[in-house]
Structure 1
């Protein structure tokens, strides 16, 4: 499987794990906590083959940056969390950085 597909899956599982972590309410709802740990485990399982091909710094920056953007939007819409204009601006810079890193890497 292509390293970029592994990285995309790693991002999806990381975001899912963070969503479940929020639902766990600090592990008070242990089922969501266990689901969170499972999703994080799958995220790392998918990240491992990605970093065999994609430089680790690039892969990690894209993984974490896309995760930040995605979970921020989920927080906004699913949990009614509010962000200031300045916070939106900084999140946009993270997204620009992740896209720029992706565009600067030879895809293979």
Structure 2
């Protein structure tokens, strides 16, 4: 079968039609074994793609877990001590205000005139 050559960008190449018609490019003859082999290849390709997707998802989850662990460690090591110090300072201030109020009440009670006794 003669092959027609097509010219593209100044280069000549075999026509696609000649390759499709001749089937001489196939590395093996067409047999009934090709159908199960084709199905097995498709299944293997699908399994490979699913594995790649799952591996990528696992990598993303691992990266998120590491990032979350860094955030938790930063909260425990830096933010919580600052908040605890602020809470201690506020509690101390409230205790001092309470003592001052109690002392003020005692002074007011002590400065009242005593009713005459009998």
TM bin, normalised by shorter chain, reads under 0.3
User: Relative contact order: is structure 1 or structure 2 higher (C-alpha 8 Å, sep ≥ 6)?
Assistant: 1
Structure having the higher Rg: 2
> Which of the two has greater helix per residue?
1
TM-score for the superposition, normalised by structure 2: 0.23
